[in-house]
């Protein structure tokens, strides 16, 4: 079950408590090829493939790894679980997730047939239009200019998108606009618990060119083979930004559960790079 935090100070206390167990568990996992564990999506004990081929230094990235037989990684199973906790069976609400080509979308669609999936397909396309992506019709949505009507959604979800959005505060304004009153935003992004404010890695200049403030970092992208440029690593200021955009009950949830394959990214620099299994939740 998620434990919720609003303040860095409280979270750091929690981190100190789990740290010895966390490091031992993740060192053990890193050395395995496969482990058995409980999949919150399959709702049973399954085999997890530990290493997805994504590394942080020499360490397998366990946030992208621990892939269940159903195809979902640690990060994707965590967000699936967070979504399922928001939706009780009699809810007839409108859900949207800003991904469409992923296994996570397929799994959500099986359980919530009404869910709307979309991708950021490319620049200059109108949000809400359908584009051909590898032979399937995919709805294009830009997180800073969504086509959803104001106050039209009960739940909106994005999963490691925000770090690629230069104008991320504009994205928060849009997410707020499209939610109904008491509607809920759930998302993940690189969130480094030692940071007070975000670390900006790159920016877009007025002429549209990109200035790199650090070594460029790209993340795997289902649509762009070159990957998606990372503008930010976020910290606790992100929760304040959400509050400033009007959201209430802004909090960070962590669910550290080794048997369920919910462990950290396994970053070799614990103090800077370590990303615990967290989600961020905010209510309109
Ligand atoms: Zn599974």
| 74 CA from centroid of ligand 1 (Å) | 10
User: For the chain, what is the domain count?
Assistant: 1
| 36 CA from centroid of ligand 1 (Å) | 11
pLDDT at residue 89, rounded to an integer:
55
Any idea which residue has 């976020």 for tokens?
234
pLDDT at residue 118, rounded to an integer:
97
Quote the CA–CA distance of 46 and 71 in Å, as a whole number.
11
Neighbours of ion ligand 1 (CB under 5 A): 39, 41-42, 68, 70
| 46 CA from centroid of ligand 1 (Å) | 7
Asked whether the beta carbons of 184 and 153 are under 8 A apart, the reply is no
Q: What is the dihedral of CA 76, 127, 180, 253, to 10 degrees?
A: 20
Asked whether the beta carbons of 279 and 188 are under 8 A apart, the reply is yes
| 39 CA from centroid of ligand 1 (Å) | 5
| 147 CA from centroid of ligand 1 (Å) | 32
Region label for 226, one of left (φ > 0), alpha (ψ between -120 and 50) or beta (otherwise): alpha
CATH number, domain with residue 149: 3.40.50.150
| 166 CA from centroid of ligand 1 (Å) | 33
Each of the 284 residues of the chain gets a pLDDT tens digit; together they read 999 999 999 999 999 999 999 999 999 999 999 999 999 999 999 999 999 888 888 889 999 999 999 999 999 999 999 999 998 655 668 999 999 999 999 999 999 999 999 999 988 899 999 999 988 999 999 999 999 999 999 999 999 999 999 999 999 999 999 999 999 999 999 999 999 999 898 898 999 888 888 888 888 877 777 788 889 999 999 999 999 999 999 999 999 999 999 999 999 888 888 999 999 999 99
Phi, psi of 137, deg, nearest 5: -85, 120
| 11 CA from centroid of ligand 1 (Å) | 29
| 41 CA from centroid of ligand 1 (Å) | 5
Quote the CA–CA distance of 12 and 145 in Å, as a whole number.
35
| 143 CA from centroid of ligand 1 (Å) | 29
| 107 CA from centroid of ligand 1 (Å) | 10
Residue 121, judged by CB atoms within 10 A of its CB (0-12, 13-18, 19+), counts as: buried
Which residues constitute the domain of residue 272?
3-283
Q: How far is CA 8 from CA 38, 157, 279, in A?
A: 30, 23, 15
Phi, psi of 153, deg, nearest 5: -120, 145
| 49 CA from centroid of ligand 1 (Å) | 11
| 106 CA from centroid of ligand 1 (Å) | 13
| 63 CA from centroid of ligand 1 (Å) | 15
| 31 CA from centroid of ligand 1 (Å) | 21
pLDDT at residue 91, rounded to an integer:
61
| 260 CA from centroid of ligand 1 (Å) | 10
Flag whether the pTM goes above 0.85: yes
């Amino acid at each position: 079950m998620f434990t919720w935090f609003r303040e860095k100070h409280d979270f750091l206390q929690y981190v100190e408590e789990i740290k010895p167990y966390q490091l031992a568990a993740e060192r053990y996992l890193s050395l395995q090829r496969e482990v058995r564990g409980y999949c919150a999506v399959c709702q049973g004990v399954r085999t997890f493939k530990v290493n997805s081929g994504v590394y942080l230094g020499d360490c397998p990235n366990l946030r992208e790894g621990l892939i269940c037989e159903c195809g979902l990684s640690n990060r994707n199973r965590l967000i699936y679980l967070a979504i399922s906790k928001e939706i009780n069976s009699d809810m007839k609400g409108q859900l949207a997730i800003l991904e469409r080509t992923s296994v996570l979308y397929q799994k959500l669609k099986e359980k919530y047939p009404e869910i709307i999936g979309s991708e950021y397909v490319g620049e200059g396309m109108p949000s809400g239009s359908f584009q051909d992506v590898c032979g399937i019709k995919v709805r294009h949505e830009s997180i800073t200019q969504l086509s959803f009507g104001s106050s039209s959604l009960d739940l909106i979800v994005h999963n490691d998108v925000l770090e690629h959005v230069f104008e991320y505060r504009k994205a928060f304004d849009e997410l707020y606009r499209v939610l109904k009153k008491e509607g809920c935003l759930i998302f993940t992004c690189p969130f480094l618990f030692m940071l007070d404010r975000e670390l900006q890695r790159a920016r877009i200049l007025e002429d549209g060119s990109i200035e790199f403030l650090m070594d460029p970092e790209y993340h795997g992208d289902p649509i762009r083979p070159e990957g998606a440029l990372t503008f930010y690593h976020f910290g606790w200021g992100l929760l304040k930004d959400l509050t400033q955009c009007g959201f209430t009950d802004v909090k960070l949830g962590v669910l550290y559960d080794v048997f369920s394959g919910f462990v950290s990214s396994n970053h070799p620099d614990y103090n800077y790079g370590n990303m615990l299994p967290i989600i961020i939740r905010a209510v309109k």
